[in-house]
Amino acid sequence: MLKSPNLRQKAIRVSLSHDSSSSPCSPLDAEQGGPTVASLLSVLGGIQDSRKARGKIYQLVFVLAVSLVAVLGGAANFRQIADQAADFPQDLLEKLGGKWCHFRRRYRVPSEKTMRNMFASIDADHLDRTVGRWLREHVYHDGDKTLHVAIDGKVLRGVRTGDDHQFTLFSAMIHDNGVTIAQIRVPLDTNEITQVKALLDPVTAREGERVVVTMDAAHTQRDTATYLAGTRGFDYIMNTKGNQPTLLLAVSKKAVSLIMDTPGHVVRERAHGRINQWETWITTADGIDFPHAQQIGCIRRQVFGLDQVRISREYAWILTSAPPSNMTATDLHEHVRAHWGIENKSHYVRDTTWREDAHHINIGNAPQVMATLRNTAASLLRIHGHLQIKKTTEWISRNPCRALAMLIT
């Protein structure tokens, strides 16, 4: 006959799982004044679990929370997530919503296979919308009440669909903070040009807040301009290039006379053994046939050697829906340069810190879910002032309880 555990055994179990005074994670909470990760768990708990109730051991919210902590610690794939999770302290697993296993007398963690199968079936777009909205709530605009958003696509080079197509994700990132607030998967039968509405529909402006959206030349489309400036009331900044030859000719022809005058803004910087100089001009868009265009601009970038001999010169021809009262030459220069932060702060970080392009995850929605976890981890680190992402993940990996401070917003 099986015997129930005696009182001493019960006391030991309770002590191991609930005694916060001896918990290696409890000092962290004390430093934060006692807040918990309940906000994040509540958000992740809203993600629908498509699995049947029968045989379910782990709650989806717990698996997502554990995976996010592991990714904050630098875990780059399912195997590394499972390995890190297996080493998590018991009290950390408890804080993340784990359930006590009476047979093993400890909190269990899912295996690599379990995570892989669960992530493949998650509604990844819902996860992105939910997490993006939560991150947006914890990022505040600059003093001028303007939200600067860059949109750009990224191909996951190691991932192929069943038809051997590329797997492309399209995301929106706040310029200064480097926080990703929206992401969608680009359908196989189209490209990111057609997906601006789907990406930005969940992004809303706070009361009294302006939203300025920057993008590369591929998105210089009439439908996109109409949606942004007409439907949403956002301002756009678009580059004109050879994909729109008639528009490029009209903008460059009107702007070419500007470069004979003194530029409205000049920046000169020395870096990497050379000198970069940006000169910016801006004027009205009178006579330009493009939806909601208010101004056109020209940015001339010249590169000089330290001997002052010019190495290269290039021009960028730009359209914006912002009026002169909201967009000066200085503003235009800053927005255009800040746009490429989405490459450095998002795409580059995901590749170098978590080796995203080296992964071959080809099942269901798992590639998108993993990208969402990486976006979320990088965004949380930046929200808490950690700009050296790789170094910080290594710091967290040495003590995963440090990740709790990143989850408290």
CATH numbers and ranges of domains, the chain:
7-123+365-407 (no CATH), 144-348 (3.90.350.10)
**Closest to 42 (Cα-Cα) out of 65, 26, 20:** 65
What type of residue is 375? N
Residue 171 · residue 183 · CB < 8 Å = yes
In this prediction, residue 29 carries a pLDDT of 44
In this prediction, residue 7 carries a pLDDT of 36
The DSSP secondary-structure symbol of 263 reads: P
In this prediction, residue 275 carries a pLDDT of 94
In this prediction, residue 349 carries a pLDDT of 94
User: Residue 340: CB partners within 8 Å, gap ≥ 6?
Assistant: 150
Per-residue confidence in pLDDT tens, the chain, 409 aa: 333 344 333 333 333 333 333 346 754 443 444 456 888 899 999 998 887 777 788 899 999 999 999 999 999 999 999 999 999 999 999 999 998 888 888 899 999 999 999 999 999 999 999 999 999 988 865 566 899 999 999 999 888 766 667 889 999 999 988 999 999 999 988 999 999 999 999 999 888 899 999 999 999 999 999 999 999 999 999 999 989 999 999 999 998 888 888 999 999 999 888 999 999 999 999 999 999 999 999 999 999 999 889 999 999 999 999 999 999 999 999 999 999 888 889 999 999 999 998 888 778 899 999 999 999 999 999 999 999 999 999 999 999 999 999 987 6
Q: How far apart are CA 254 and CA 157, in angstroms?
A: 40
User: Residue 201: CB partners within 8 Å, gap ≥ 6?
Assistant: none
Q: How far apart are CA 186 and CA 198, in angstroms?
A: 10
In this prediction, residue 163 carries a pLDDT of 66
**Closest to 227 (Cα-Cα) out of 213, 208, 247, 217:** 213
Secondary structure (3-state) at 122: coil
Environment class of 80 (CB within 10 Å of its CB; exposed 0-12, middle 13-18, buried 19+): middle
H helical segments located in 122-207: 124-137, 196-200
Q: How far apart are CA 198 and CA 216, in angstroms?
A: 17
Tell how strand 235-240 and strand 210-214 pair up.
parallel
Q: How far apart are CA 32 and CA 408, in angstroms?
A: 8
CB neighbours of residue 378 within 10 Å: 26
CB neighbours of residue 191 within 10 Å: 13
In this prediction, residue 36 carries a pLDDT of 65
In this prediction, residue 358 carries a pLDDT of 85
From residue 133, how far is each of 65, 74, 110, 148, 172 by CA, in Å?
Answer: 17, 24, 27, 16, 12
- How many helices (H) and strands (E) the chain has is answered by 17, 11
**Closest to 287 (Cα-Cα) out of 243, 327, 317, 249:** 249
Phi, psi for residue 388 in degrees, rounded to 5: -90, 85
In this prediction, residue 17 carries a pLDDT of 36
**Closest to 44 (Cα-Cα) out of 138, 130, 132, 139:** 130
Q: What angle do CA 343, 340, 330 make, to 5 degrees?
A: 165
Spatial strand order of the sheet with 295-305 comes to 180-185, 166-174, 146-160, 210-214, 235-240, 310-320, 295-305, 274-284, 265-271
Q: How far apart are CA 100 and CA 173, in angstroms?
A: 39
Statement: the pTM of the whole predicted model exceeds 0.75: yes
Q: How far apart are CA 233 and CA 328, in angstroms?
A: 19
